[in-house]
């Protein structure tokens, strides 16, 4: 049996439906269910539905052999796992954004609000900019609007949240897409299953592109 950690939400559901088509379906799976674990009756596959930011933890610790995780979360938490494939779905970007009329005052430390403190710190260190980090857990766009930060480092997908709050992107830090990751031990001891699933999911994505 192969254990797969999927992120709750649209991305996880998309990956599940692709895998189901490739022969990894669970008869009793329903996206409306509050159940967190689904196994197929043949004992081939088991899915865990986890918070997106926790996928790497389950895979690193071996509860899941395989997981699907955004590049944003992978870079922020850096779990000790193998990255097997870029799935080319769930695309968005990690950006620095601020109020439309923001001008950087380089004489002052830059106040940066974000969920992604490691990503932000790494980026601004490489940029040589002294910063003060403000860790938030959501609705990051509020921080510059209410004046508690100068900029935010956050995910931009359609750009709607920024636009509707009179903010704009000043710098794209990196592109994001969903990645297939694997537990290091599983890659040795369940090599054939991990390989087969990787090839299947890559093919499913190509066919649905």
Which C-beta is closer to ligand PRP: that of 46 or that of 169?
169
| Distance of alpha carbon 200 from alpha carbon 207, whole angstroms | 10
Contact between 99 and 136 (Cβ < 8 Å): no
* Cβ at position 101, least distance to ligand PRP in Å: 20
* Cβ at position 59, least distance to ligand PRP in Å: 21
* Cβ at position 52, least distance to ligand PRP in Å: 9
Which C-beta is closer to ligand PRP: that of 165 or that of 200?
165
Which C-beta is closer to ligand PRP: that of 22 or that of 145?
145
Take residue 139 and report the two structure tokens written for it: 């609705």
* Cβ at position 8, least distance to ligand PRP in Å: 12
The residues near 101 (Cβ < 8 Å, ≥ 6 apart) are none
Residue 151 β-bridge partners: 98, 112
The residues near 152 (Cβ < 8 Å, ≥ 6 apart) are 96, 97, 98, 112, 113, 114, 140, 141, 143, 144, 167
The footprint of ligand PRP (CB under 6 A) covers: 138-141, 154-161
Which C-beta is closer to ligand PRP: that of 109 or that of 159?
159
> Greatest CA span in the chain, whole angstroms?
64
């Amino acid at each position: 049996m192969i254990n797969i950690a999927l992120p709750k939400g649209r991305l996880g559901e998309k990956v599940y439906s692709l895998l189901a088509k490739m022969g990894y379906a669970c008869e009793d799976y329903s996206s409306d269910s509050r159940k967190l674990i689904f196994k197929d009756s043949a004992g081939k596959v088991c899915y865990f539905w986890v918070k997106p930011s926790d996928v790497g933890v389950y895979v690193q610790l071996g509860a899941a052999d395989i997981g699907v995780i955004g590049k944003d979360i992978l870079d922020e938490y850096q779990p000790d796992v193998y990255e097997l494939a870029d799935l080319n779905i769930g695309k968005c970007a990690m950006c620095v954004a601020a109020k439309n009329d923001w001008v950087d005052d380089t004489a002052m430390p830059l106040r940066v609000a974000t969920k992604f403190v490691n990503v932000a710190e790494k980026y601004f260190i490489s940029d040589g900019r002294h910063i003060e980090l403000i860790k938030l857990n959501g609705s990051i766009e509020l921080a510059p609007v209410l004046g508690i930060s100068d900029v935010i480092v956050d995910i931009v997908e359609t750009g709607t949240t920024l636009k509707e709050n009179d903010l704009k992107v000043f710098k794209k830090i990196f592109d994001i897409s969903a990645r297939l990751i694997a537990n290091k031990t599983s890659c040795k001891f369940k090599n054939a299953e991990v390989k087969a699933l990787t090839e299947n999911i890559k093919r499913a994505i190509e066919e649905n592109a």
